[in-house]
A and B are shown apart, each in its own frame.
Chain A
Amino acid sequence: MDLLTHKKAIAALLAKVETLARGLPSPLRVMEVCGTHTMTVHRHGLKPLLRKAGVEMISGPGCPVCITPDEFHEAAISLVTGRDDFVLATFGDMTRVPTRRGSLQAAVPASRSSVRVVYSPEESLSLARRGADKEVVFFGTGFETTIPSIALMARKARQAGLGNYSILAALWTIPPPLRAVLESGEVRLSGFLYPGHVSAIIGTAPYEFVAREFGLPGAIGGFEPADILLGIVSILEQIRDGEPKVANAYGRVVRPEGNPAARAVMDEVLEPADAHWRGLGMIPGSGLRLKPEFADFDAVRKYGLDLASAGKDLPGCRCGEILRGVIAPPDCQLFGRACAPDFPRGPCMVSFEGACFVHFKYRDVTHG
């Protein structure tokens, strides 16, 4: 697989991008939907190289930590600060998101309660099995890559009859926000670089509306530098040929049909729901909630949580506009001054795949 990162291959691909771009009307702007792509694009210095070759990369809404609105974090904070003998388990980045009520990391849990960071949803279930005297809530967030594993926990908890386990499900699906970005018309795009591992689950069909209804090219990309560039080449070729489609430039991992077994677990446990995204607002059918037959494992129902109030970002934070691709992180007044990874003012600076965090970490590479 050396060729995927080899200097010669990268140079040849960039030359190909440049040749293609020269023959096309500018500006050429490609949105990388996925936060892991944002990371790859910046870490390997592809952003300035692609700009030089004629293609501007724009970060999109593909960071679940970033788009989860404050109400979820605040509900999690009130659970762990308000209930004794309680465990709030979540992914690491989630504990650092600042809200008007502080962050989970800074929260002072009630008696014999704690916030626990987990790597895998399985660990949250183990916590409930081991500590039967405690209520365990797994604050799980994610896109389709992570959703099947979270859904599986509800099934396993029900099979095991675990009465002390429930899920605060902040689950988001990727195709609806793409439609929202396109329909808003706020940012003019030449194509989408579709997320590789979301696509490993959902396959290619859910993106087809982008080409069909909006005439916009797109390619599913992997996570090595050459994977990304192959995706960009495909997008430019689609523009040149006037044939927008959903190309799969990550065929070794993504099957056209996705992962049917993972989707079956999702379908068994979850149902679509309207959901509020930070920056994008309410998007119909863009979230997933537990089905009524899994109500006992739904923290929202179990604890009567109120997630309805519209989220307001912290003053000055422009994370929402960044998630829509309307501005780049350095356009925010707080960026690198009042807001940095050590003292984040919004979730885009917290997550390791948040656009602000990535721009800050690789600022020397990206901005010279």
Chain B
Amino acid sequence: MCLGIPVKVVEIDSAGETGKVDYLGTKVPTSFALLPSLEVGDWVIVHAGFAISRLDEAEARETLELLREIVEKSEEPGEPAGFP
């Protein structure tokens, strides 16, 4: 039920409340009424036709950096082998 999909904003109507997002190459009408001040090019999570959150690029990079560190650390000798 709480499925949300990350998509890119490609059109915003003049009132700012509706527009379109790119989902796998298809432009899908979406409501932006719950997420003011979006800009074209923003990535958002869409749930049931509504954008509910804007993705934060800096936070995304931080998560990837953390993952990279964990992978690198697991490859160091002396650490338990990754499984399976």
* Chain A residues within an 8 Å CB radius of B34: 148-149, 152, 259, 261-262, 265
Whether B50 and A120, one on each chain, are in contact in the complex, defined by CB atoms closer than 8 angstroms, is yes
Interchain CA distance A23-B50 in the complex, whole Å: 44
Whether A15 and B80, one on each chain, are in contact in the complex, defined by CB atoms closer than 8 angstroms, is yes
Q: Mark A219-256, 1 if CB is under 8 A from B, else 0.
A: 00001001100100000000000000000010111110
Q: What's the nearest-Cβ distance from chain A to residue B82, in Å?
A: 4
Interchain CA distance A152-B35 in the complex, whole Å: 12
Whether B50 and A149, one on each chain, are in contact in the complex, defined by CB atoms closer than 8 angstroms, is yes
Interchain CA distance A263-B42 in the complex, whole Å: 21
Interchain CA distance A62-B2 in the complex, whole Å: 9
| Chain A binding surface, main DSSP class | helix
Q: Mark B38-77, 1 if CB is under 8 A from A, else 0.
A: 0000000101111011011101101110111011011100
> Is there a chain B Cβ closer than 8 Å to A300's Cβ?
no
Number of A-B contacts (CB under 8 A): 149
Q: What's the nearest-Cβ distance from chain B to residue A54, in Å?
A: 12
* Chain B residues within an 8 Å CB radius of A319: none
- A residues contacting B by CB (< 8 A) are 1, 3-4, 8-9, 11-16, 18-19, 34-36, 49, 52, 62-65, 91, 93, 119-123, 141-143, 145-146, 148-149, 152, 195-198, 200-201, 223, 226-227, 230, 249, 251-255, 259, 261-262, 265, 351, 353
Interchain CA distance A343-B77 in the complex, whole Å: 53
Whether A143 and B62, one on each chain, are in contact in the complex, defined by CB atoms closer than 8 angstroms, is no
Please judge, given known A-B contacts A11-B82, A197-B45, whether A145 and B4 are in contact too, CB under 8 Å: yes
Please judge, given known A-B contacts A145-B47, A253-B53, A262-B34, whether A9 and B71 are in contact too, CB under 8 Å: yes
Q: What's the nearest-Cβ distance from chain B to residue A151, in Å?
A: 10
One of A8, A9, A15, A36 near B2 (C-beta < 8 A): A36
| Interface positions of B from 1 to 37, Cβ below 8 Å from A | 1-4, 31, 33-36
One of A49, A141, A145, A252 near B52 (C-beta < 8 A): A145
Please judge, given known A-B contacts A146-B48, A148-B34, whether A253 and B1 are in contact too, CB under 8 Å: no
